[in-house]
Amino acid sequence: MKNIETTVGIDKLAFFVPHYYVDMTDLAIARNVDPAKFHIGIGQDQMAVNPITQDIITFATSAADQILSPEDKKAVDMVIVATESSVDESKASAVVVHGLLGIQPFARSVEMKEACYAATAGLSLAHDFVALHPDRKVLVIATDIAKYGLKSGGEPTQGGGAVAMLISSHPAILALNADNVALTQDIYDFWRPTGQAYPSVDGKFSNSVYIDAFSQVWDEYCRRNDAHFADFSAIAFHTPYTKMGKKALLPKLETEPEAVQKHLMAQFESGIVYNRRVGNLYTGSLYLSLISLLENSEQLSAGDKIGLFSYGSGTVAEFFTATLVPGFEKHLRKTEHEALLNSRVKLSIEAYESMFEEKIDFNHNTKFADDAAYSIEEIKDNHRIYRQK
């Protein structure tokens, strides 16, 4: 099936991850676990770790800065930041991001939350806005820090980073097909009451809710659209750890012809190359997987339809599709993304643990030093002051 249903979609796309990581073999040895459990059982090789001078705002600006031209900054009418790692209960991080990026002032800036799902709602909102205002653009950023606690069950599924997407009419990469099927269920599989440092999570239960949610939205999507797996060149999944999407896809493929199974599983592997090296980005995870797929698969061409499965605990799930536009490959950033991943510093477990425990004290004015493009420079009068290099 090769057709382009709409012309609103993702024009530019980039991710940012912090400059430090832990090797999962080191973590396994330190936690007295067989490394194969992390590399094969969970499917993670490295895990991003953020220093105290980096937060969801510096992640967001570092991702968006890579893709925005001066013309884009004049054309963006809405900045949507999706996160479940908010740094303020009141002021939206999008307002700070808007200012740091120098977006034109007559824009709307808002933060959205629903666990790992919110960026998908942001993308839909952006689509509808641009469909109504085709000469304007929307910046959607998914940015999070996934922390479960040292030596906790969720520790090997931590990570952090941001994905920035510029939505426009006549997109250069992907047309969004506006065929979304969403599912809301009031379930406690992963949640974080206000003020609680780390989430409460029932990992096994969350696995089964995720798998069931994919099954439900996929079946409903097929019913509404008379669709089949064979219509898709690839399906990208929300990837809190890379084994997760595989556990949802494999049972649904069981009755498919072998060629379809093989093709979609090979594409799945292309979609987790970056995620294996970064870990969990919460709401950015699906979109990191999308970038990984586009930049690492050699089996994609213009007109191909890609399915996307978004899942946020609590829960909201959504399945939707996008179509690759001609010339998409010229607008990917594989060289830059690989350079970012390869330039990171590997931490010892001791260094990771002490970085993990560092906390900002808002009661004392403090100055920091960080050489990154965007960082927290200072805590002053109970708020963060950012530095742009």
Verify whether residue 238 is a known catalytic residue. yes
Q: How far is the CB of 157 from ligand COA (least distance, A)?
A: 4
Q: Is 310 one of the binding residues for ligand COA (CB under 6 A)?
A: no
Q: Which two tokens stand for residue 289?
A: 């997987």
Q: How far is the CB of 245 from ligand COA (least distance, A)?
A: 10
Closest C-alpha to 150, from 359, 283, 361, 349: 349
Which C-beta is closer to ligand COA: that of 44 or that of 375?
A: 44
> Out of 83, 206, 275, 310, which residue is the one contacting ligand COA (CB under 6 A)?
206
**Separation CA 115–CA 82 (nearest Å):** 9
> Out of 51, 240, 271, 284, which residue is the one contacting ligand COA (CB under 6 A)?
240
Query: If you count DSSP H runs as helices and E runs as strands, how many of each does the chain have, helices first?
Result: 13, 18
**Amino acid at residue number 318:** E
Verify whether residue 116 is a known catalytic residue. yes
Q: Is 208 one of the binding residues for ligand COA (CB under 6 A)?
A: no
> Out of 7, 30, 31, 41, which residue is the one contacting ligand COA (CB under 6 A)?
41
One-letter-per-residue 3-state SS of 32-61? CCCHHHHHHHHCCCEEEECCCCCCHHHHHH
Q: Which residues contact 216 (CB under 8 A, 6 or more apart)?
A: 183, 317
Of 98, 116, 318, 337, catalytic: 116
Q: How far is the CB of 38 from ligand COA (least distance, A)?
A: 8
Q: How far is the CB of 85 from ligand COA (least distance, A)?
A: 13
How many positions of this chain bind ligand COA (CB under 6 A)? 20
CA angle 348, 353, 357 (to 5 degrees): 150
Site for ligand COA in 261-280 (CB under 6 A): none
Of 98, 127, 238, 337, catalytic: 238
Closest C-alpha to 142, from 93, 181, 175: 93
Which C-beta is closer to ligand COA: that of 35 or that of 99?
A: 35
Verify whether residue 98 is a known catalytic residue. no
Closest C-alpha to 233, from 320, 324, 306: 306
Q: Is 320 one of the binding residues for ligand COA (CB under 6 A)?
A: no
The alpha carbon torsion through 199, 49, 275, 220 (nearest 10 deg) reads 20
What is the bridge-based pairing of β-strands 76-82 and 137-146? parallel
Q: How far is the CB of 241 from ligand COA (least distance, A)?
A: 6
What are the residue numbers of the active site?
A: 84, 116, 238
Contacts with ligand COA by CB under 6 A lie at: 34, 36-37, 40-42, 153-154, 156-157, 190, 201, 203-204, 206, 210, 240-241, 311, 313
